[in-house]
């Protein structure tokens, strides 16, 4: 257990509504590093010492959660520390790095720290790290954090500062720990609820033809990775903007990609024309507030909004029209919307119905719950790339293994400098080949 090198603030800390909805389990990611001649013991000690000196600044990561009534949590800042594991694996880095690393259950078991979730929540660490040395001298660094405590941007900022301290540099951007902007400490009624949120926060459409229990048991999901070159991304943007009414702002890379992915997933899943579908878009509310929260806000600032329509409408619309649907839900999230949503969640007696685990169902079907929903998570603009602890930048960064049908990440390709993107996707096995075909063919046609 790695504890803070200096004493930190101790006590109980309230969490925001965003901390207590969505995924309330753990989220993991992994970094790969090229072979180095530095002794493994030196690398291990460097990471332990620098982590110990980083935790005083990010002291919530050294604490523990406590479960309150009605699906709510509290953070106990107690300096209990983070788990650090050093391991050696009799395998070459190339075993995992074939064709753009795609996580598997095997890679998670070997390269990520084990979390014993059968323990009481107040005994579970909020940060776990595993450093693994391969027989070729390459390294991996598996990071597991409690999603109740932090979102992806917070983890990325933490990794950036930890790496700086490991290289002997001072902290550059301290975490912003004040949660008052999200209404923490305020009683209900401090902000008016101006919007209808009854369809927000996980209330997704179902398949009209629900699979039987026996069919569900036979279904298997898999993860795969697709590469998009800079030229392909631009071609998709151009296609989305072809029918755009001027002087409208051109559709962004994300809007074009999300629209394209939404259409391809519906085709691959062979939806009937009347089937309701949805594209979940992850929004960072930090920059939607007035004034905006600092980039360094440490906690959860993201939540999902969903664009919805039937499969018939989706597939009969142009890419530009579908991108417009994606944009409309993104632009819906204003300062007033965020504050209204917080007020709505505060008014709920129990938040459990807004929570899910990556191992449980949000849509009645366990890990197959995604169909007819696709969730497009954009990590492109987060500072996950270029994390250098003193032996060079990573050669790959990406999410851990995932079983939820329809979850998808857009990430930068760490191994290239040509601005190419990697699309990491989880789908039912039976839909994978069709999705790949539509994904590339529909860019041209």
The whole-number pLDDT of residue 99 equals 65
258 plus 327 within the same structural domain:
yes
Do 207 and 38 meet the contact criterion of CB atoms below 8 Å apart? no
The Cα 80–Cα 302 span in angstroms is: 27
Identify whether 6 is part of a domain. no
Q: Which of 20, 114, 17, 116 is nearest to 67 (CA)?
A: 20
Tell me if 181 is assigned to some domain.
no
241 and 153 assigned to the same domain: no
Verify that 133 and 249 share a domain, yes or no: no
- Cβ atoms 376, 257 nearer than 8 A: yes
Nearest alpha-carbon partner for 87 in 105, 108, 111: 111
Nearest CA-CA partner of 372 in 438, 309, 302, 304? 309
Give the count of alpha carbons within 13 A of 109, CB side only: 3
Kindly name the residue from 147, 197, 396, 402 that is annotated as catalytic: 147
Residue pair 183/299 in contact by the 8 Å Cβ criterion: no
DSSP state at residue 243: T
Residues 116 and 249 in one domain: no
Q: Rounded CA gap, 174 and 171, in Å?
A: 7
Q: Kindly state whether residues 245 and 349 are assigned to the same domain.
A: yes
Task: Point out the domain boundary residue: 132, 167, 202.
Answer: 167
Is residue 217 a part of any domain in this protein?
Answer: yes
> How is residue 408 annotated by DSSP?
E
Q: What is the bridge-based pairing of β-strands 139-146 and 221-228?
A: unpaired
**Can you tell me which residue has the tokens 């902000």?**
191
Based on the domain organization, do 59 and 118 belong to the same domain? Answer: yes
Out of 49, 92, 336, 388, pick the active-site residue. 388
Asked whether the beta carbons of 307 and 321 are under 8 A apart, the reply is no
Q: Which of 291, 302, 355 is nearest to 333 (CA)?
A: 302
Euclidean distance between CA atoms 383 and 303, whole angstroms = 19
- Beta strands at 139-146 and 26-33: parallel, antiparallel or unpaired: antiparallel
197, part of any domain? no
CATH number of the domain within which 96 lies? 3.30.559.10
Q: pTM (2 decimals)?
A: 0.93
User: Please, which contacts does 161-170 make with residues 24 or more away whose CB atoms are closer than 8 Å?
Assistant: 161/54, 161/57, 161/58, 162/50, 162/51, 162/54, 162/389, 163/387, 163/388, 163/389, 165/50, 165/53, 165/54, 166/46, 166/47, 166/50, 166/389, 166/390, 167/388, 167/389, 167/390
For position 247, what pLDDT does the model report? 61
DSSP string, 168-189: TPPPSS--B---GGGTTTPPTT
122 is catalytic: no
List per-block mean pLDDT (blocks of 10 residues) for the chain, which spans 445 residues. Answer: 97 96 93 96 98 98 95 97 98 81 93 95 97 97 97 97 98 96 75 81 83 83 94 94 79 97 98 96 94 96 93 97 96 95 93 70 46 93 91 93 92 76 95 98 89
Sign of the Cα pseudo-torsion (307, 309, 311, 313, in order)? negative
Domain C-terminal end among 167, 200, 223: 167
Number of domains observed in the structure of the chain? 2
Q: Are residues 162 and 219 in the same domain?
A: no
Domain of 374 in residue numbering reads as: 213-442
- Going by the DSSP 8-state scheme, the letter that residue 240 receives in this structure is H
Where are any strands of DSSP class E within 395-438? 396-399, 407-412, 421-428
The pLDDT, as a whole number, for residue 203 is 75
H/E element, 220: none
How far apart, in whole angstroms, are the C-alpha atoms of residue 396 and residue 91?
A: 17
The candidate with the shortest Cα–Cα distance to 386, out of 422, 420, 347, 412, is: 412
Cα–Cα distance for residue pair 417/152, rounded to 1 Å = 23
Q: State the DSSP string of 93-139.
A: GGGT-TTS----HHHHHHHS----TTS-GGGS-SEEEEEEEETTS-E
Alpha carbons 31 and 70: distance in angstroms, whole number: 36
In eight-state DSSP terms, residue 223 is E
Q: Please check whether residue 196 lies inside any domain of the structure.
A: no
Note whether residue 260 is domain-resident. Answer: yes
DSSP state of 297: B
Which of 69, 58, 47, 173 shows the shortest CA–CA distance to 126?
A: 58
Do 162 and 241 belong to one domain? no
Question: Do residues 141 and 218 share a domain?
Answer: no
Same domain, yes or no: 46 and 160: yes
Q: Are residues 285 and 350 in the same domain?
A: yes
Is 271 one of the catalytic residues?
Answer: no
Neighbours of 7 (CB within 10 A): 9
Q: Is residue 194 part of a domain?
A: no
Structure tokens at 70: 């009605």
Q: Check whether residue 163 and residue 234 sit in a common domain.
A: no
The answer to whether 387 touches 396, Cβ cutoff 8 Å, is no
Q: Do 372 and 269 form a contact (C-beta atoms < 8 A)?
A: yes
* Residue 142, domain member (yes or no): yes
Predicted pLDDT at 444:
85
Of 167, 201, 227, the one marking the end of a domain is 167
pLDDT score at 88:
97
Nearest residue to 425 (alpha-carbon basis) of 439, 411, 408, 440: 408
């Amino acid at each position: 257990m790695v504890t803070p090198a200096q004493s930190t603030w101790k006590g109980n800390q309230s969490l925001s509504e965003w901390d207590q909805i969505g995924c309330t389990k753990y989220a993991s990611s992994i970094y790969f590093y090229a072979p180095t001649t530095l002794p493994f013991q030196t690398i291990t000690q460097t990471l332990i010492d620098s982590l110990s000196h980083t935790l005083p600044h990010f002291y919530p990561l050294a604490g523990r959660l406590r479960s309150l009534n009605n699906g709510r949590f509290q953070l106990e800042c107690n300096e209990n520390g983070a788990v650090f594991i050093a391991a050696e694996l009799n395998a070459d880095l190339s075993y995992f790095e074939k064709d753009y690393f795609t996580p598997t259950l095997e890679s998670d078991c070997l390269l990520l720290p084990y979390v014993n979730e059968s323990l009481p929540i107040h005994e579970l660490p909020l940060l776990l790290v595993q450093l693994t040395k391969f027989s070729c001298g390459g390294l991996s660094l598996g990071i597991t954090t409690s999603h109740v405590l932090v979102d992806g941007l917070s983890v990325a900022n933490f990794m950036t500062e930890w790496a700086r301290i490991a290289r002997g540099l001072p902290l550059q951007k301290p975490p912003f720990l004040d949660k008052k902007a999200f209404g923490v400490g305020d009683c209900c009624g401090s902000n008016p609820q101006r919007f209808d949120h009854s369809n927000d926060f996980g209330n997704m459409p179902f398949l009209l033809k629900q699979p039987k229990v026996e069919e569900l048991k036979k279904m298997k999901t898999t993860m795969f990775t697709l590469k998009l070159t800079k030229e392909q991304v631009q071609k998709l943007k151009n296609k989305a903007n072809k029918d755009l009414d001027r002087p409208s702002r051109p559709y962004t890379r994300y809007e074009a990609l999300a629209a394209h992915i939404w259409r391809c997933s519906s085709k691959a899943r062979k939806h009937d024309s009347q089937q309701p579908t949805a594209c979940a878009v992850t929004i960072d509310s930090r920059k939607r507030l007035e004034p905006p929260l600092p980039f360094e806000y440490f906690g959860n600032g993201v939540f999902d909004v969903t664009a919805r329509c039937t499969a018939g409408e989706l597939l009969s619309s142009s890419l530009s029209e579908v991108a417009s649907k994606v944009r409309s839900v993104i632009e819906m999230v204003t300062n007033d919307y965020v504050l209204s949503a917080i007020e709505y969640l505060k008014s709920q007696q129990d938040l459990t119905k807004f929570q899910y685990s990556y191992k449980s169902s949000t849509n009645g079907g366990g890990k197959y719950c995604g169909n007819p929903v696709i969730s497009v998570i954009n990590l492109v603009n987060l500072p996950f790339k270029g994390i250098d602890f003193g032996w060079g930048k990573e050669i790959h960064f990406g999410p851990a293994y995932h079983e939820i049908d329809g979850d998808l990440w857009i990430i930068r390709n760490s191994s290239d400098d040509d601005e190419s993107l990697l699309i990491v996707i989880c789908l039912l096995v039976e839909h994978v080949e069709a999705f790949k075909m539509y994904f590339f063919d529909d860019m041209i046609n």
